[in-house]
Structure 1
Amino acid sequence: MRLNVRLYGALALTVIALVAAPPCRAQDKVALQLKWAHAFQFAGYYAALQQGYYRTAGLDVDIREGGAAVDVLKVLQDGKADFGVCTTSVLLEKPQDPQITVLGVIFQHSPAILLVPSRAGIRTLSDLKGHRLMDSPSSPDVAAMLKREGVDYAALPRVEHNGDPRDLISGKADAFVSYSTDEPFVLGQLGAPYRIFSPRAYGFDFYGDNLCTSAAQASAHPDRTRAFLAASLKGWDYALKHKEQIVDLILRQYPTNKTRAALMFEALQSEILIEPGLVPLGTQTAERWQSIANTYHDLGILADTRLPATLIYQGNQSWAPPWLGPALIGLLLFVIGAALAWLLYKQYMRRLELGLAKPKLSMIMAGLFICLTIPILFFILIYNYERNSDAIIATLRADVEKARQAAIENIETMIRNVAGTLRMVAEVAGDDPGFFRNEQSRDVLYQALASAPEIDGIYVSFEDGYHRVVTRIDDDRRRSDPEIPAAANWHSSFIDDFSAGANRQRHRTFFDTWENVVAEYSVPTSIDMRALPGYPAAKESRALVVTEPSINPDTGAPVLSVRVPIARNGEFIGVASANITLDVMSRFLATHRASRHSTTIVADPTDGTVVASPDKQKGLQVTDGKLDIARLQNMDDADVRAAYRLHTQMNQDEFVFPSPRDGQELSASFARFPESFGRPWEAVILTPTDDFIGQMKATNQKIVVLIIVLSAIELLLIYLLSRRLAQPIESISRDLKSVEELSFAQTSHRSSKVREIAQLQAAAALLRNSLQSFSAFAPVDVVKGLIKSGIPLALGVEKRTLTIFFSDLEDFSMLAERANPDDLLEQMSAYFEQVSRAISDEHGTVDKFIGDGIMAFWGAPIASADHALRACAGALRAARRMDQVNADWRRQGKPNFRLRIGLNSASVLVGNVGSTERFSYTVMGDGVNVASRLEGMNKSFGTTICISDSVFDAVSGEIVARPLRRVQVKGRKQEFMIYELLGMADSKDPELETRPDDKLLNDMTWVASRCFEQRDFTAAARHYREILQRFPGDPVAKSMLAACVPNLMPAAIDADWA
């Protein structure tokens, strides 16, 4: 009852195709040997080469054309090519030959088919006996199909295969082994009717083209093999998404005798065989290969059905054997039971050793009983469930078979009845062709139509172009034809024969009840009914023809057409036809089910076309804005799509699988119609197994639930007793964990009545309060590191490059003298809070508060590669938050604090300094002094944030900062450039973004500064005046203009100020 589908290729190949493979050596030359002449059959490799996928993978690929004389496997075994396009014949290699490895399967289905012309009168495979076969040596699936149908494949007369389907028309051959991607197009272009026998419709679903290499190649060059496979799959994905582009590429760069239309036909048919939307490109499974090997064995061409160890590419092979899943489940149940028993035993022994409790024998017995008996009980339940399921599944299969047989018989009966009616009409037309050229004949057609509710329309069409039809008028027809009168329920029309020439017309008559005409009119027409699907086949075969489902253009609804030839004196003169609506079949399938929730669908296994579905709408789809017949692989039913995918991958007709919609287990059955039916259809039946074993499963589930509930109550009692004692200790553990993270939220715990636990609670509270006080006097990160490291605190420093931050308040002494102490303290607290939080938000460390100043740094104690950028962001946040605070204070009438900040990046000493009894975590060095001096430089230039050249050089591409001038600070002999920080370059954060005016101010200042640094004081002065004209209050421009003036010549001063 469990589905074990191992997709050896799906997951790994998808990952390989999406993730870049490891690069090979630069332009590693490799050769790819094709098996035939250039065609869309190899489009993915052309696309990979043209799009540069091979080149990106480090491969220089030579694509070599194949042909009838080229043995790809021999070429690979001899080392004359590195990779090749192979078929399932890789299974037929002799053990002593070099082994072949299939990297991935491209065509999930073989294109091999058997074509027969309608003139040959071959309606079933058994009719092929004694007819001439134009055979291909590489079509074992065709051979298997013939063998199953009782045809002696070897005894059929052979005709040399030259690849020309015209030999079918000329009569040189009666049957032609061909590809569904090629020859049907040629016959269609020639207008020659034909019938297709597909091995897939008879249960033989072989792989088509696969990408292969020698096992030695894959082993010796694993990276190259992976790279080639990944690039090839990527090429196929591109080719299938850009068919027209690749067709043009083939016509342009690769010699081919195919036309563009033929290549496009091949592209569309290839996509059906590859099924990229159903399974990942390259998918292959061991089950499918094994099924093919078994077929070869049945044909007598393969002695050993065991798959070669190197057949499936190891890069995508699943390592898990099929028995591993059940074994792991059993092992897991045993381990869980044993572990639970061991844990209970250890817990009781620990309590016993600690003297906390002495376990009772009843408790031990209860625990052991639960741990040891429940798994066994579950095993018994599962075993009985599986045994009973087998019997019930047998009943399920019998009911499924009944539903399949009922569907087949109903459809056969329906078509047989319609065919019988048409034969009578054809006999009348054959005896008296002129009868249907008068109005009385429409009564005969009406009687035939009224006798069969499944017929939508019945008509006769003649070789001379004459056509007469009687149809029902339903809602679908009304919607499709606005000319139909509202009261009309029946319609009759006839079309003049070709002798009418340009005056040929369609004469239409409408009835509300038969014989009561409500409207009639005539319209010109040029339609040729001989071009209808099935007409040429009926003419050639002189037998009943049932067409593929199609959309009736008159109604927009799906129909089947049944055609019977009309003959007079042995000469073909036309056909009698009927269109069968699929509504009748859909209603039958909806009411005749294998079980209450089962689904039966009739489909054509050749391409998955849905013939009939219980839900008519699901049997349709919209393609390029047009209504079309759905296929099993894209039907609007997730269960059907999943069943078809698994049927394709496993090549099995009966299996169970989980529903992708709700996870319930479904039984799938794919059963072919008998060959005598005349169409290669199959019944697809999906049945929820719960419809048969649901009651038993529900009973088992109730028992399981009862056992679980009782066991849970026992376990709960044990848990509550142990929890009663452990809860206070767990609370203490949580408190200590919070303290480790410096989270000091107060928690309320009931004091334990156990003395030792109460002492632990008191100790934990004392530790929390102590660390809370300590963290208020030391950097938080330092405290966290100290707690987590467990290393005793000691004096010591290290050299590290940091960014140091100094800030203070302008004219704070004057403010302090005039302000009320309480008001000043309130404002200072707000100031310290805002700046400290800004530093903390950017992961900085506040070192100390120095009067009205703050010292901080980035890059310690936690190292940070972007410490300079973080420092700039912290400084901007501090300045702009203080702007907001000052705005509030102005509204309240309070004095404002003007913040000044200096930033410098330098190599300094950082660590614990002080005495043996009192430590301080701080930084020391010349870089610290420079940062302090830069903070003071703000006063000279009227700026807020002054940064050094080391900070600017570190983050120049990520900030907006304008140059001030070169300065020399106290303690430094060498001058260096300083800058004013205006904002972050690309930030949208209001606290960090560069304001629009600041961007212009920055650009203008850079121009002026360059002139100043080049000692072109005249130009510099002019540019600084331009800044003042645009920004009259800019203190930097005023300061720098004042610096320029002493260096100007008097004449320049007069000219500039004139």
Structure 2
Amino acid sequence: MNIFRNMRLKPSILTSFVVLTVPVFFTIITVTYLSNDRIARTHAQQLVERFRNEAIDNIQDDFNPIKSLARSAAAIGDEFPDFYASSRCFKYFQTVLVHSPKIVSVYVGLEDGSFRQTRRIDADVKVQGKLPPKGSQYAYRWILPRAGEQTLDHFLYLDADLKELGASEEPTAYDPRSRLWYRSAAEARTEMISDPDVFATLGLIGFTVAAPFYSAGKLQGVAAIDMTLAGLGEYLAERKISTGTVSYMLDHQGRVIAASDLSKTYANVQGKLELLHITALENDLPAFAYSARPRASEGLYTFANDGKEYVASLATMPAEFGKKWQLFIITPLADFTSAFQANNIRLAIFGLMAMALQVVVIFFMTGVVSSPLERLAFKVGKIQELGTEQLPSVNSAIREISVLSKAIDTLDAAVKSFSAFVPIGLVTQLLQSEQKLELGGHSRFLTIFFSDLEGFSTMSEEVPSQELLLRVSAYLELVTKTVNQEHGTIDKFIGDGVMAFWGAPALLDDHAWRSCVAAMRIQRGMDALNERWHAEELKPLKVRIGIHCDAVLVGNIGSKERMSYTVMGDGVNVAARLEGTNKEFNTRILVSHSVFKEAGERLCVRPIDDVTVKGRRSKVPIYELMGVYGADDPGLEPTPETQRLAKLTRLAYEALVKEDYALAARRYREILAEFPDDPVASTLIKRLVAA
């Protein structure tokens, strides 16, 4: 593509570095980010799974001893049916009660309707309508129904050392056999765990572990233990896997048993305390996470909420636990990815800073290489343009560039020397086309130009050679610059004469007009030189110019050892003849009829005569060039007097062509009357008179 062909070295190196480095850098950042994100996700999932397994194991470890105690209490009833029929059981219940602070009460209900219980007491909670005695921590409670008597509910309050502090009683209709825990255990005929509920007297969520006992296959009663789940929420809070993690223990209906944020998970509904469903909590996140859970299976899943991504786990307790409770864990991925993201940001910032530093270093380093190379490229460009100014040598500490600089200096000197002997147009064409210089030529319609100094032989005898050399050199320099300015080609210098042509090697549509412009510029330039020489009291130099258009052979003529880019043909002779004819009419610029045909509408000329050229049978009409139109120099335009002289000369020439010599003579005399110094009219009148 052309866009890459013209790029400069320094920007191209910087661009290449950026193009190669930036994608690699961002690829590394992307791969690092994705890798860290994958590691963070895996780590989060592993932590959630580990926490889930540990929590389930710990909950079972807490519950299994309670279940064992319930089974032990039932076993005592199996072996000693009358043990629970007396107050002996209270102290046994006390030993079970102190086994764990989570146990609220231990009790037994018998088939005869009696009920015995050892329970914890909250001194700030009323019992039977009044506060218990100060210092009360435990209480023995019993209900012994008797036929025909009112059933009483007895409380005996004890301190931490089981010393009696007081007692209370009140009538009751309480019958353990009608209670759910009793009926459920009796129906199950084995230990059972009740659904979680709110212990109204304590304001705590708990459940009951109950086990029936038998005698001779007959149900004797049910031993039960009430256990609070208050510690479960604290357990979940203490073992959070991250700062943003929340976890909940749910029952089989999705009601919240315990929460790691220790929030209130029950509410008063129509005078009854009931557990809240997970979707009814004040925090909307659990509800959203619960609704996003997969219905077909349990386990880990991810979801997004408010632009944040979370990992969640919903796992049911093992079947041997006895209840389909579920551990619900929600953790934000940001808790695990934030450190990686911060590291990625630091890596990106550090990478960008390092890249910027590299760009600066490469910018200066490439400057060391590119700056001399760019100056050398500029110098080569000037060599191709054949510029005349002398550019300084390029110095570089890099050896290869230094060698290249010396080679280009040598090339510059060689091209300048070459172009001094070979037409500049040809040199330019060779440099641009990269063609080899070979012998050969071709025919082309060109404009040939000859110039010569009038009276040079006589002057060379009168003027000192050094002075003559300087003045001729000034003239030749003027001709050379003017020809080059008008895109002509200097063929050769012939003593004081110059041969040039237009239309080769580069094609020119207006080659005839350009040669005429060059001729007019040369004459104006010579006028300026003569004024300077006149001021120096030196004789003036007069230049005669002949111009002709014709088809000639142009190309490299000579041998392989030495050749010349020149033109050959009859047209060259005609141009040379025209230059010499100026001497006969005392004119300065003569052009042929072919020149007039090519550019006549842009030239101011007057017809002179028809001349004979050696080798040609027919005569050649010739014209004096008096001005040009359309040049960038107004001084080359003909003046009104010049235009009138040209018009009068055309009228006289028409009479001459018609061989009306009398009319022609009269008209030439009219020209002399108006322009007494006109050499053409004077010469032609003399010829007419002599004829």
Q: TM-score, normalised by structure 2?
A: 0.49
Looking at secondary structure, tell me which structure has more strand per residue: 2
Pick the structure with greater CA Rg: 2
Q: TM-score, normalised by structure 1?
A: 0.33
